[in-house]
Structure 1
Amino acid sequence: MQPGPIYLIGPSGNPNFGDEFIAAAWLKYLAKVRPGTDVWLDCPQPGLAQVLFEGMHPRLRVTNTLWRLVHGTSELAPDAAAETIRARVTGLGSPLYDLGLLKLREAETLHLIGGGFVNGTWPAHAGLVVAMQAVHEVTGARLVATGQGLMPALSEPPVESLFQGFTHAASRDEAGALAYGIPHELDDAFLGVTAEIGRAPAEPGLYVCIQSDTVDADRFDKAVELARSAVQEAAARGTTAYYLEAIPGADRLAYESLADLIPEERFIPFVRIWSEGLPLSAEQTWVTSRFHFHLLAAAAGAGGTAVGMKKGYYDVKHESVAALGSGWALAFEEPAGGDGHGSERPATPEQPNLLHRNLQALVDRKLAEARSIYPPLPRTELLLHRAAAARRFVAARASDALAALPAGLTRSGGASRKPSAPSRSA
C-alpha cells in the first residue's frame, strides 16, 4: 500500500441532507485525525459539494471522476459496463477521464462512505465498486466501505464478489450484512450525531417531512394523508406543527398539500437546516419518511412515526433504526386486503426510546470503527500536521486579501507611483 491521499466516494452535492451529513461527518473526523493529509471527495455534484463542505477539512479537494465514469456507462448491460470501467481505470487512453484517474492512482485509501446508493434501486452504482477494485489492481490501494445500505440486493455482480479485495466493508442493517456476508455495523451518521444535537434551537411540537422522490406508486398520497391527520390531531391538542425539507424540491411537494395547516414561516428549508443545524429535542414528535431525520430525532430523544415510501428499500432503512430501539411507530403500506386497498396501520411501539438512552455507547461503537480505519496519529505528529494546516490556511487567506486589493495599491496600502522621469539639463 502506498502513502497518499484519502479518497472518499459518496453521493454528495445534490443536496440531500442525509448524504451531506454523512460526508460532513467523515470530513470532520478526518480533520481531527488526518489534518495534514489530502482528502478527495468524489461525488456527483462537486460544485455544490465544494460549497457545502467548505472549511470542514483543511486539505479537501472535490471531483466527480468516478461518478462521471459510472454515469457514462449506465446504459450498458452490467457486464459490459463493468468491463468498460475496468478498461478505462487500468488502461487509461481516454482524455475525458485520464487526468482524474491518474490522480486517483495516488490514493492510499479508497473509501466508499455510507448511504443507500449501491443496491438494486440504482444497480449502475455497483460500477463505483468495480472502479475501486480496478484501482486496487493497479496500485494496491486499500479499499474500505462503511455504513452501506445494500438492500434491495443487486442481481449483478454476484453479491459474494461485490466487496472482494476490501480491507473493511460493513452494512448498516442486518439484512444487507446477511445478504452480502459482511459485518453489521452502524450508519455513518453516528459519527456526527453528538455534535448535531443542540446545534440549533429546537421548539417543542410536531415535525413533518414527506418526500416525493423514490416512492412506490400511490404511496405519496397515502403518506400525505397520514401526515395531514397527524397535523390536525396536533392542532386539536394545541401543538404547533413544523415542516422540514431534506431535499429541496422533492420535499416541497408534500408541504404544498399541507400549507393550509402549516404556514410558510414554519417551513424550515434545507439551507437553514444545513447552516444552523437540524432542530432536535426530546420534546418533539415527528412524522417523517426521511431515514436520517428518524435516526437523528430519535437519537435526541424525540418520538414519532417513520413512514415507509418504497418497499424493500425504505422499510429496511427505518427498520434498522427501530432495531436500535428508537421506539417509533412504523407506517409501512400493508399488502392489499380483501377490499383491494392497502391499509395504513402504524405499529404501536412496544418499548421506550432505547436509542437515545444508549446513544453514547452507539457513538463509541462508531468511533471505534472509524479509528480502526484511520487510527489517530501520535500526538507530536498530529500537532505538527495541525500547525502546518493552520499556516496554509493563514497564507491562503492572506493571498485572497491581497488579490482583493484595488488595482494600484501597494502591499503597504499606499498608492503606487510611476517612476519619475529623469531630469534633463537646461
Structure 2
Amino acid sequence: MNSGIIYLVGTSGHPNFGDEFIAAAWLKYLAVARPDADVWLDSPQPGMAQVLFEGMHPRLRVTNTLWRLVHENADLSADVAAKNIRERITGLGTPAYDLGILKIHEAESLHLIGGGYVNSTWPHHAGLLAGMRAVSEVTGARLYATGQGLMPALPRDNGEAPLFQGFDVVRVRDEPSAAAHGLELGLDDAFLGIPGEMGRNEAAPGLYVCIQSDLADPGRFQAAVDLARAEIRLAGRRGIKAHYIEAIPGVDRAAYERLADLIPESRFVPFSDVWTRGLPLSAQQTWVTSRFHLHLLASAAGARGIAVGVKQGYYDVKHESIAALGSGWSLALGSDDPSMPERAGTLASKLPELLEQKRREAESLYPPAGGFLAGGAARLLNKTLTTSLKNRIRSQAR
C-alpha cells in the first residue's frame, strides 16, 4: 500500500468538458504537489483520456480496471453486482483482470473525483464504490470522494453496504446530495482548476451559447434552443455578436445546427479548441447554456447569463448549486421564461475564498512533497494566481 501510487477514479475520456476539466485539475495539482508519485487514472475511455491528459502529470498512467468491472455487471441487481466486483478484487484468479487488480492493490489511496455520475440515472456506477471499498479492505488504502453530485439519489444502502461506508473523506457539491446521504457539503472539484483556466484564452465580448442534446426531458431540448434563439436575436438588435461553444463533440453540435442561421461557422468553437486553447471567459460576456461547468466557470469570471435545465432532478440541482454560491444567473428550469440579468452576481468577488477552501481540501488529501517548503511554495503560487485573477476580473468589469 505504501508504494506511493495515487489512484484516481473518474468518468473522464468521453470527452465531456466538465469531466475532463475536473480530472485535469487534479492531475495538474498533483504534478506540483506529488510529481514523483505514480498516478493512475481509472476511466471508462482510457484511450481518449490518455490523449486528453498527456503531459499533465509526469508519471500518469491510464486504465479502466474498475470501470470494466462495473460495466460487466451493469445489468445485475446492486447486491449481486457488488458481490461479483468484490470477489474479483479480493479473490483474483481471473486472468483478464488480475494484473489490473494487482496494480490497484499497490495504491496508497483511491479517490473518486468529482462529477455527477453516481446516482439513480446510472445506478450501476455504485459498483465503483463497492470496488474501491473492497480494495481498501484488502490493503488498507485510504478512500476519498470529493465534489460529488449524487442526485437523483440512490438508496443510502445500495448493494452490500451504505454507499460510502469505509471512506475516509466524502464531500458533495450541493445541498440535496448532502441531505440525501448525510454527507458534508463542499465544492465542485472544478474550483481546483479555475486559477489556471482564467485568462488562458482571451474572449471577445458577446453572447455565448451552448445547448446540449443529451439527457434532456421531452421537449426541453427544443425549449432551450428556442430560448437561445430569442436571446441571440435580442443581442443582434443591440449589435452584440453571438458565439457557440461545444462542450461535448457532436452532442452539442445539434443545437448549433438549429441556430446556424444566426451564428456563422466562424464563431462556432469546437471542443478541440476549447480544450487546447482554453475556455473563452470574460466579465464582458453574456451566456445561455445548459452545461453546468460552463455556468460555473463563466459566472466565476464575472459573466452574466441564463442557465437552462434540461433534466429535472439532475440539471436543476446542478445549476441551483451555482446560483446558491452567487452566480447571479437567471434559471430556466421548467416552463419559466427568464430574462438576462442586468448585473453580474457575487461569485466572482467571493472566488478567492472559495479557491482557498478547495486548495486546503486538496492539500489535506495530498500534502505537497517536501513538507513545509513545498507547501509554502504551493500557497505562494495559489496566492499569486488568485491575485492575478482578482485583478483581471476587476479590470474587465470596468
What TM-score, normalized by structure 1, do the two folds share? 0.85
Rate the CA distance shift 1:80–1:38 in 2: closer, same or farther, 3 A: same
**Structure 1 letter corresponding to 2:100:** G
Confirm or deny: 8 A CA contact 1:40 1:60 kept in the other structure: yes
Cross-structure match for 1:285: 286
Alpha-carbon offset, residue 307 of structure 1: 0.3
Q: 2:394 — aligned with what?
A: none
- Structure 1 or 2, whichever has the larger Rg, is 1
| Separation in structure 2 between the aligned mates of residue 350 and residue 147 of structure 1, nearest angstrom | 30
Aligned length: 374
Equivalent residue, structure 2, for 1:367: 359
Distance 2:205 2:62 in 1: 38
| Secondary structure of residue in 1 paired with 2:146 | strand
Cα 1:12–1:355, aligned 2, differ >3 Å: closer, same or farther? same
Residue type of the alignment partner of 1:172? R
Q: Quick check: 1:206 aligned with 2:207?
A: yes
Letter in 2 for 1:42: D
Is structure 2 residue 368 aligned with structure 1 residue 376?
A: yes
Matches within 5 A, 1:10-409: 10-155=10-155, 157-158=157-158, 161-333=162-334, 343-346=335-338, 352-378=344-370
Q: Distance in 1 between matches of 2:373 and 2:152?
A: 44
Aligned partner letter, 2:285? Q
Equivalent position amino acid for 1:5 in 2: I
Q: Is the 8 A contact 2:133 2:166 kept in 1?
A: yes
Q: CA offsets per residue over residues 282-310 of structure 1, 9 Å max, x none?
A: 00000000000000000000000000010
What is the SS of the residue equivalent to 2:138?
helix
1:377 Cα deviation after fit: 2.3
SS at match of 1:368: helix
SS of alignment partner, residue 207 of structure 1: strand
Contact 1:2–1:139 at 8 Å: present in 2 too? no
SS at match of 1:40: strand
In structure 2, what is the Cα distance between the partners aligned to 1:86 and 1:56? 32
- Whole-angstrom distance in 1 between the partners of 2:120 and 2:358: 26
- Report SS of the residue matched to 2:145: strand
The amino acid of 2:128's aligned partner reads: L
CA-to-aligned-CA distance 1:209-234 (integer Å, 9 cap, x gap): 00001111111111111111111111
Aligned partner of residue 192 in structure 1, secondary structure: helix
Contact 1:151 1:175 in 2 (8 A): yes
| 1:108 alignment partner, SS class | strand
CA offsets 1:17-44 (integer angstroms, 9 cap, x no match)? 0000000000000011100000000001
State, as a whole percentage, how many aligned pairs show the same letter.
Answer: 65
RMSD: 1.7
Cα deviation, residue 157, structure 1: 3.3
State the alpha-carbon separation in 2 of the partners of residues 322 and 56 from structure 1: 31
> Which amino acid in structure 2 is aligned with residue 228 of structure 1?
R
| Corresponding residue SS for 2:184 | coil
Whether the aligned pair in 1 keeps the contact of 2:146 and 2:189 (CA below 8 Å) is yes
How far, CA to CA, are the matches of 2:290 and 2:144 in structure 1? 29
Q: Which runs of 5+ in 2 are unaligned?
A: 376-398
User: What one-letter code is carried by the residue in structure 1 that aligns with 2:75?
Assistant: E
CA offsets 1:116-166 (integer angstroms, 9 cap, x no match): 011111111000000000001100100000000101100373498111111
Asked whether the 8 Å contact 1:325–1:352 carries over to 2, the reply is no
Note the C-alpha offset of 1:349: 5.8
Shift of 1:3: 4.0
Cα contact 1:294–1:321 (8 A) shared by 2: yes
TM-superposed CA distance for 1:194, in Å, is 1.3
Take 2:322 and 2:7, find their aligned partners in 1: how far apart are those partners?
A: 28
Give, in angstroms, the shift of residue 347 of structure 1: 7.3
Gap change, CA 1:52 and 1:209, over 3 Å in 2: same
| Correspondence for 1:396 | none
Q: Give, as a single letter, the amino acid of the residue that structure 1 aligns with 2:359.
A: L
Contact 1:327 1:350 (C-alpha < 8 Å) held by counterparts? no
TM-score of the two chains, using structure 2 as the length reference? 0.91
User: What's the offset of the Cα at 1:92?
Assistant: 1.2
From the superposition, tell whether residues 39 and 381 of structure 1 become closer, same or farther in structure 2 (CA, over 3 Å). farther
In 1, Cα distance between equivalents of 2:262 and 2:339:
25
C-alpha contact (below 8 Å) 1:78/1:157 kept by paired residues: no
